[in-house]
Structure formats: C-alpha cells, structure tokens
C-alpha cells in the first residue's frame, strides 16, 4: 500500500524551513508549536526517515529532509493550483482577523458568530494583540483585518470615542492617585500619565498588567483608577472628581488588499459593528 502524506504535514514542514523556526512557522500555519512538533514527528514516521537534525532549538535538514523539501514544494504547488482551479471564486482559506482586547469579548461572541452563520464553511483565525502588533501582522500579510485604536485624525478611523477615567471616585481624591495600566506600548496608559503630569497631579502605578481582564478586575477591586473608553466597563466613568481631561481616540479598521468575498463580508460586518458602538457612546 502506498503511503499517503497529508498536505497539512507537508505545509508545516515547508513552513519550518522557510521561516527558520518552529515559532515563526506556527504563526504562518496557525497551529501551536507543540502541534507543529507532533506534525513533523508524524511525517517522519510516515516516511520512516528523520527530516531534521535537532541541536537544541536549532533545526537543520538531513539529506532525506533536503530531498523531501523539493518534492513537498511541488506537491503543495500542484495541490493549491488544483484547489484554485476547482473552487474558483469560492472561499478556500481562513478569514484572519486581529483585534485589541477591548473589542474581543463583544466581537468574538457576536460578530464572529454572525459571520459563521453566513459562511458555515469558512474558517476563522482571530488574534488578540495591541494595535501596533496587529498592524505589523497586516503589513506582513499574516492578517486580513486589523481592528485597533489610533489618534483621532487617523485616516483609517471608523468612529471616535472619548477617553474617560474609570474606578472608585474616592481614589481620585487622594493626594497621590493610584493608577492601573496595561503594559507598554499602550495609548491609554500614555494619555493617562500625560494628563496627570500636565495637570500637576501626583500618581503612582499600583497595577501594571498585559491583560485587560486583569486590569478590569483590579479597577473593580479598588486597586486603582484607569483610563479607557466606554467599552471598558459597564459602570459609568468617574465625573466631577477633579481629574484632568483626556483626549479622544479613534477606532481604526485596516484590511489587506484583494480580500475574497467571505473575508470582505467579515470586514464589512466589523465596520458596521464598530460604527454602531460609536453611535451608542
């Protein structure tokens, strides 16, 4: 019986060689490093050959790996040509969307569920990260859609939202204001610190976290106040507490060029959702 080599194993194998590491390849083929390692182990078992020399984290091709690489490229090229020819005009790849944490809870349960109903055969890849990282992934064609925050005059702005202070008003009356922030880089962190410094208010950072859920919990627990938009908490922002004014921020939506029909629909749905959030502010 001939050995059947799954194309996903071949694609992962080529991705490791092309990107130079398991970490970079995992982002390219949208699987975890552990799953990627298991895929290569399975491919080696099917071929009964070792494809990589492993020296710590460094991977180099064995002679069998060098030979297999050439054939793997040919197989994948032919495979992709066949799929494109047969399924011309149909959705054939993952719709890759990235968003900042502020939008994640709302959009993952609402927008993406709606998209899945409209396109039940579509695959969705979502990435939660800071705006700068998302824009970088979009520029490297690793995302199709990026949703984040930027300055109010950004040309990619879909809507605008005022920044506000959130937390226990009692904390705002202290001589030294306890501040809860996300790790750098963060537009809201920078705005809060700049506003307090410009107004001459003393402060100290009491909570610093990379996670918005942790930040929300810290604010609700009274560990500090923070700067965010109305997407952050359902509670009303702090008002009339002598805190300095904050600037507005724009919600931006950027897309890659030449999206397929399904991914363009996801981009349109995202734009409509964000615009409605702005109207509700």
Position 141 in a domain: yes
pLDDT at 234 over 70: no
pLDDT at 272 over 60: yes
| Whether residue 270 sits in one domain with residue 200 | no
| Whether residue 43 sits in one domain with residue 62 | yes
Position 156 in a domain: yes
| Whether residue 76 sits in one domain with residue 28 | yes
Pick from 38-52, 75-89, 248-262: least confident:
75-89
260: preceding bond cis by omega (within 30 degrees): no
Q: Judge whether 36 and 29 are in contact, CB under 8 Å.
A: yes
| SS3 annotation, 2-40 | CCCCCHHHHHHHHHHHHHCCHHHHHHHHCCCHHHHHHHH
Position 2 in a domain: no
CATH value at residue 140: 3.40.190.10
**Which pLDDT score is estimated for 278?**
58
Calculate mean pLDDT across residues 64-89: 81
Q: What phi, psi does 128 have (nearest 5°)? A: -105, 120
Q: Judge whether 102 and 215 are in contact, CB under 8 Å.
A: no
| Whether residue 226 sits in one domain with residue 173 | yes
Position 104 in a domain: yes
| Whether residue 242 sits in one domain with residue 128 | no
| Whether residue 63 sits in one domain with residue 201 | no
| Whether residue 113 sits in one domain with residue 67 | no
Token output for 30: 């949208």
CA distances from 267 to 64, 174, 260 (A): 43, 45, 11
Position 80 in a domain: yes
Calculate mean pLDDT across residues 155-184: 89
| Whether residue 178 sits in one domain with residue 226 | yes
3-state secondary structure of 128: strand
Handedness of CA 107, 113, 115, 116 (dihedral sign): positive
| Whether residue 259 sits in one domain with residue 147 | yes
Instruction: Give the residue from 86, 109, 131 where a domain finishes.
Output: 86
What is the β-pairing status of strands 95-99 and 145-150?
Answer: parallel
Position 40 in a domain: yes
Token output for 233: 């908490």
Q: Give the bridge partners for 149, in sequence order.
A: 251
Pick from 205-209, 215-219, 228-232, 248-252: least confident:
228-232
Model pTM score: 0.59
| Whether residue 138 sits in one domain with residue 114 | yes
Q: What phi, psi does 156 have (nearest 5°)? A: -90, 10
Which residue range is the domain that position 203 belongs to? 164-246
**Which pLDDT score is estimated for 132?**
87
Pick the more confident residue, 250 or 114.
Answer: 250
CATH value at residue 46: 1.10.10.10
Average pLDDT for the chain? 84
- CA–CA distance, 176 with 226 (Å, rounded to integer): 14
- CA–CA distance, 124 with 60 (Å, rounded to integer): 32
Q: Give the bridge partners for 161, in sequence order.
A: 249
| Whether residue 275 sits in one domain with residue 242 | no
Instruction: Give the residue from 23, 53, 86 where a domain finishes.
Output: 86
Position 226 in a domain: yes
Instruction: Give the residue from 86, 116, 133 where a domain finishes.
Output: 86
| Whether residue 49 sits in one domain with residue 34 | yes
Position 1 in a domain: no
- CA–CA distance, 259 with 122 (Å, rounded to integer): 14
Say if residue 279 is exposed, middle or buried (CB neighbours under 10 Å; 0-12, 13-18, 19+). exposed
* Structural domains in the chain (count): 3
What is the β-pairing status of strands 95-99 and 124-128?
Answer: parallel
Q: Judge whether 100 and 128 are in contact, CB under 8 Å.
A: yes
């Amino acid at each position: 019986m001939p050995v059947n080599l799954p194309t996903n194993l071949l694609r992962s194998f080529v991705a490791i060689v092309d990107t130079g590491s398991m970490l970079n390849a995992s982002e390219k083929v949208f699987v975890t490093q552990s799953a990627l390692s298991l895929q290569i182990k399975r491919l080696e078992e099917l071929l009964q050959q070792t494809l990589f020399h492993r020296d710590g984290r460094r991977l180099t091709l064995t002679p069998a790996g060098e030979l297999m690489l050439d054939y793997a490229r040919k197989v994948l090229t032919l495979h992709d040509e066949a799929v494109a020819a047969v399924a011309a005009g149909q959705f054939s790849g993952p719709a890759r969307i990235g968003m900042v944490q502020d939008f994640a809870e709302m959009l993952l349960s609402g927008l993406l569920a709606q998209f899945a109903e409209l396109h039940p055969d579509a695959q969705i890849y979502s990435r939660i990260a800071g705006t700068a990282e998302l824009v970088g992934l979009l520029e490297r064609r690793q995302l199709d859609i990026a949703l984040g925050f930027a300055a109010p005059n950004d040309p990619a702005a879909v809507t605008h939202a005022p920044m506000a202070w959130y937390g226990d008003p009692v904390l705002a009356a202290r001589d030294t204001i306890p501040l809860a922030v996300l790790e750098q880089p963060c537009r809201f962190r920078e705005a809060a610190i700049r506003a307090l410094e410009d107004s001459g208010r003393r402060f100290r950072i009491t909570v610093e976290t990379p996670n918005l859920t942790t930040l929300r919990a810290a604010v609700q627990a009274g560990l500090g106040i923070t700067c965010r938009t109305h997407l952050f908490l359902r509670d009303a922002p702090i008002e009339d507490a002598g805190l300095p004014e904050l600037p507005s921020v724009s919600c931006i939506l950027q897309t890659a060029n030449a999206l397929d029909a399904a991914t363009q629909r996801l981009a349109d749905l995202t734009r409509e959702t964000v615009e409605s959030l702005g109207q509700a502010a």
